[in-house]
């Protein structure tokens, strides 16, 4: 769909990490009206409709974003962008040989689905108790470089701002939707909100394609009748990511795990790394050498 220059300029003011979703919402709004070109007035009208506030006017308004924690105003969206830009600092999460990285959820980002600070602190305690630093120190003959560190990241939601996909051990907050007690009116809000096209509406209500669903929880928040509810909350766990000469994306070993399961998985991951890793080998290298299935089986069996 085409955009007039004035409308495009307003879209560019939306924080980059939600811009794609906002654009999709506006274009769907215009399409429902039979339009083919997005104007600045369309942006204003879409903002009023999506925010449920017909009294709000002004050309400087931007479109709100529906999330599992509420509908975010332009000011809140700007605050999220600022949090992401500046990052989050917390004592005790970083040593010479390991680090735990958090996303903006630890600084109050309203998109987060988990308690970032609490989980990060407990993960750091596991790293300390395991004796990981002593192990890595014994494997390095020269200076300690960035790639020698064991990296753990906590992302409060599937946006993954802390980049868990390239960490040795990554955690992503999850909120899985399911059928609620309310009656579905087939309003279509959940379908329009879902970025993954993971919801179909039937005569009996929403049907979820969990192979597509990222468990962001947005559909839960926008459902006006309670026909959708959170049926499971927790964290997705990934292992074996890295950058460097031969980058590798981390792979999922747990879909929706509780806090204790996450901590047990990290303990098992560290045991595997320290007991079976070769001299100077990164954890991602160990995963490649053993294969993700063997690594997953080991971690899941040890984490029970």
Residue 297 has what pLDDT? 96
Domain end position, chosen among 210, 232, 254: 232
> Do 220 and 239 sit in the same domain of this protein?
no
Q: CATH number for the domain including 135? A: 3.30.413.10
| Gap between the Cα atoms of 12 and 30, Å rounded | 18
> Do 169 and 150 sit in the same domain of this protein?
yes
> Do 279 and 269 sit in the same domain of this protein?
yes
- Taking CA atoms, 256 is separated from 32, 169, 240, 261, in Å, by 36, 15, 18, 9
> Do 168 and 239 sit in the same domain of this protein?
yes
Domain end position, chosen among 212, 232, 252: 232
Neighbours of 5 (CB within 10 A): 8
- Count of the separate structural domains present in the chain: 3
> Do 107 and 144 sit in the same domain of this protein?
yes
**Residues 6+ positions from 168 with CB-CB distance below 8 Å:** 150, 151, 152, 239, 240, 241, 242, 250, 269, 282, 283, 284
Q: Is the dihedral of CA 236, 240, 244, 247 positive or negative?
A: negative
Residue 20 has what pLDDT? 77
Q: CATH number for the domain including 200? A: 3.30.70.20
> Do 227 and 241 sit in the same domain of this protein?
no
Range of the domain at 191: 177-232
Q: pLDDT tens string for the chain (304 positions)?
A: 899 988 888 887 665 556 777 788 888 889 988 889 999 888 878 776 665 443 433 333 344 454 444 455 666 666 666 655 555 556 568 899 999 999 877 777 777 888 888 999 999 999 999 999 999 888 877 788 888 899 999 999 999 989 999 999 999 999 999 999 889 999 999 998 898 999 999 888 999 999 999 999 889 888 888 899 999 999 999 999 999 889 999 999 999 999 999 999 999 999 999 999 988 889 999 999 999 999 999 999 987 7
> Do 108 and 168 sit in the same domain of this protein?
yes
Residue 42 has what pLDDT? 86
Domain end position, chosen among 213, 232, 251: 232
Hey, which residues does 201 pair with through a beta bridge?
206
> Do 2 and 46 sit in the same domain of this protein?
yes
76 assigned to some structural domain: no
């Amino acid at each position: 769909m085409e955009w007039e220059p004035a409308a495009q300029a307003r879209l560019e003011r939306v924080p980059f990490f939600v811009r794609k979703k906002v654009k999709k919402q506006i274009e769907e709004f215009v399409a429902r009206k039979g339009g083919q070109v997005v104007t600045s007035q369309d942006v204003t009208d879409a903002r009023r409709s999506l925010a449920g506030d017909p009294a709000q006017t002004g050309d400087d308004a931007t479109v709100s974003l529906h999330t599992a924690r509420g509908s975010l105003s332009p000011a809140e969206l700007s605050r999220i962008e600022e949090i992401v830009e500046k990052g989050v600092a917390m004592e005790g999460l970083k040593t010479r040989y390991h680090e735990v990285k958090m996303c903006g959820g630890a600084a109050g980002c309203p998109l987060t689905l988990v308690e970032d600070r609490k989980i990060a602190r407990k993960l750091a305690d596991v790293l300390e108790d395991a004796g990981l630093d002593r192990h890595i120190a014994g494997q390095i003959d020269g200076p300690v470089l960035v790639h020698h560190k064991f990296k753990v990241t906590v992302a409060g939601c599937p946006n993954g701002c802390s980049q868990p996909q390239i960490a040795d051990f990554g955690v992503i907050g999850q909120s899985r939707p399911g059928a609620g007690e309310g009656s579905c009116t087939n309003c279509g809000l959940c379908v329009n909100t879902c970025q993954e096209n993971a919801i179909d509406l039937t005569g009996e209500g929403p049907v979820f394609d969990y192979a597509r669903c990222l468990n962001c929880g947005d559909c839960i928040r926008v459902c006006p009748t309670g026909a959708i509810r959170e049926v499971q909350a927790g964290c997705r766990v990934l292992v074996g990511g890295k950058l460097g000469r031969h980058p590798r994306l981390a792979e999922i070993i747990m879909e929706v795990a509780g806090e204790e399961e996450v901590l047990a998985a990290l303990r098992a991951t560290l045991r595997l790394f320290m007991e079976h890793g070769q001299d100077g080998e990164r954890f991602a290298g160990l995963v490649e050498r053993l294969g993700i299935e063997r690594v997953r089986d080991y971690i899941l069996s040890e984490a029970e």
